[in-house]
Amino acid sequence: MPLVPMRVLLDHAAEHGYGVGAFNVNNMEQIQSIMQAAAETNSPVIVQASRGARSYSQDNYLRHLMLAAAELHPHLPIAMHQDHGNSPATCFSAIEQGFTSVMMDGSLLEDGKTPATYEQNVKVTREVVAKAHSLGVTVEAEIGCLGGIEDGHGAGLTGDAALAHLTDPAEAERFAAETGCDALAVAIGTSHGAYKFTKKPGGDVLKMDLIEEIHRRLPNTHLVMHGSSSVPQELVELINRYGGKMPETYGVPVEAIQRGIRHGVRKINVDTDNRLAITGAIRKVFAEHPEKFDPRDYLKPSRDAMAAVVRDRMIAFGQAGWGDKVPATTLDEMKARYR
Ligand code: G3H
Ligand code: 13P
Ligand code: ZN
């Protein structure tokens, strides 16, 4: 089937009480890993590309790789999503490239670093919603700012400043009503990258109770958790065993995400865990077989390592088993529904 609007997947997930992992991609092997895991578990698929990913892979390559994924797996619904669009222009260019969903991250200004005002956020989000919905494309927005600046994206907030930018549930309620977004990313203490927490996070830093409060106020808006990598200790150890130098670090426990899924979280963004899996596998081949130089000798194990992580998440988030049950819905059908 053609790529589907993300809204269709999130509506189905809400109806049946599961979450859908949204996995970042930059190249063919990452797309293949996700599709391998999805095929094995019969899962609906959200593939997402950041601005950096689009520029690294080039839009045309990415578009054709995604079309290849859909062609090879016709029974699985696949949504292609722009991760952290920094401006309406970025979102519109993604739509032109065939993305079926966009994130207008108006929580930050176009520089991707400076926290925006509420009014600025509403303005850009509404602009994107108007155009995207007229084409049947899904819109994710963000209210509140994630902590950290790990991958160059983010306000670099820590400590009290990060706490001050957590999502305010009353503001989230108003924002969803004023923008008409399909999905809403909320800031609950997570950040992008591998260095989220210095010890196993408790409720003082990872505020799952905030998710529950937001869901109480917004029972019909799909919530999104960014920065949701779990940073498995075994992957950090694998990297370090084969020459890496990663300090002790902790991510978001899968059980916390599962609690979120019971309270309205429908999209869970995971990138870092896959990066760790890929790097660990490649380091292992390099260390154990320094004589090898065929890229396939290390890309194949790295592809399998990422597929294993994605498979685990698809099962843990509850999307496994639903792939062929999501009603096939086109952008045109969504367009009519928005009208
Ligand atoms: O937004 C965070 C994702 O991990 C994408 O990261 O901007 O380095 O591609 P990136
Ligand atoms: P992680 O860095 O925790 O994988 O988060 C990815 C993300 O939120 C992409 O938008
Ligand atoms: Zn994110």
The mean pLDDT of 32-60, rounded to a whole number, is 98
Flag whether pLDDT at 200 surpasses 90. yes
Cβ(192) to ligand 1 under 6 A?
yes
Cβ(275) to ligand 2 under 6 A?
no
Ligand 2 atom, smallest distance to 272 CA = 4
The mean pLDDT of 237-253, rounded to a whole number, is 98
Dihedral pair phi/psi, residue 216, rounded to 5°:
-60, -40
Tell me the one-letter amino acid at 174.
R
The mean pLDDT of 101-128, rounded to a whole number, is 96
- The rounded Å distance from CA 1 to ligand 2 centre is 28
Chain Cα centroid distance, residue 37: 16
Residues present in the chain in total? 339
Closest C-alpha residue for ligand 1 atom 5: 50
Cβ(270) to ligand 2 under 6 A?
yes
Burial of 157 (0-12, 13-18, 19+ CB in 10 A): buried
Predicted local distance difference test score (pLDDT) of residue 162: 72
pLDDT in tens, 144-182: 998 765 445 577 777 677 777 899 999 999 999 999 999
User: What is the rounded distance in angstroms from the CA atom of residue 189 to the CA atom of residue 167?
Assistant: 9
Q: In the structure encoding, which two tokens stand for residue 82, read together?
A: 């722009």
The mean pLDDT of 10-23, rounded to a whole number, is 98
Least confident range from 45-54, 162-171, 293-302, 313-322: namely 162-171
Cβ(52) to ligand 1 under 6 A?
yes
316, 43 contact by CB (below 8 A): no
Tell me the one-letter amino acid at 103.
M
**Strands 183-186, 78-85: pairing kind:** unpaired
pLDDT in tens, 259-286: 999 999 999 999 999 999 999 999 999 9
Predicted local distance difference test score (pLDDT) of residue 153: 59
Predicted local distance difference test score (pLDDT) of residue 146: 85
Predicted local distance difference test score (pLDDT) of residue 156: 72
Predicted local distance difference test score (pLDDT) of residue 6: 98
Ligand 2 atom, smallest distance to 196 CA = 3
Kindly name the residue from 11, 83, 182, 312 that is annotated as catalytic: 83
Cβ(88) to ligand 2 under 6 A?
no
Ligand 2 atom, smallest distance to 228 CA = 3
Tell me the one-letter amino acid at 198.
T
Mark whether 83 is an active-site residue.
yes
| DSSP state, residue 197 | B
User: What is the rounded distance in angstroms from the CA atom of residue 185 to the CA atom of residue 200?
Assistant: 23
Predicted local distance difference test score (pLDDT) of residue 214: 98
Pocket test for ligand 2, best of 82, 196, 229, 317 (most atoms within 8 A of CB): 229
Cβ(54) to ligand 1 under 6 A?
no
Pocket test for ligand 2, best of 84, 107, 192 (most atoms within 8 A of CB): 192
Give the count of beta carbons closer than 10 Å to the beta carbon of residue 283. Answer: 19
Cβ(121) to ligand 2 under 6 A?
no
3-state SS, residue 148: strand
293, 244 contact by CB (below 8 A): no
Flag whether pLDDT at 140 surpasses 70. yes
Pocket test for ligand 1, best of 86, 104, 153, 231 (most atoms within 8 A of CB): 153
Predicted local distance difference test score (pLDDT) of residue 147: 75
Give the count of beta carbons closer than 10 Å to the beta carbon of residue 201. Answer: 19
Please state, rounded to an integer, the average pLDDT across all residues of the chain: 96
- The rounded Å distance from CA 192 to ligand 2 centre is 5
